[in-house]
Amino acid sequence: MPKLIATHDVDDIDHWLASPKRAEVFAGIATDLQTYVLPGDGKKVALSMEVADMNALEAMLKSEAGAAAMKYDGVHPDTVVIYVES
């Protein structure tokens, strides 16, 4: 199962950290979700996870549910960068 890290900007770090949407949209797609924040920057965050099916992850990110979760969480979609373990 590949590990990956996704970085992005958010409107409000506290809201993003407390959001239940992450667990909802990644259920069945990713495990071992861990959140990270960039100290001293109120907008930059990261999420690491293990993903069994990268196609399922990509489909979820492009879906209406994925877009709604990002909007709810205050994620700036144009800032999302995904790194895959090599």
DSSP symbol at 11: S
DSSP symbol at 52: S
The pLDDT-based confidence of 1 (bands split at 50, 70, 90) is confident
10-44 per-position pLDDT tens digit: 999 999 999 999 999 999 999 999 999 999 998 99
- CATH classification of 3-84 is 3.40.50.2300, yes or no? no
User: Would you call 53 helix, strand, or coil by DSSP?
Assistant: coil
What global pTM score does this model have?
Answer: 0.90
Cα 47 to Cα 12: distance, rounded to the nearest angstrom: 15
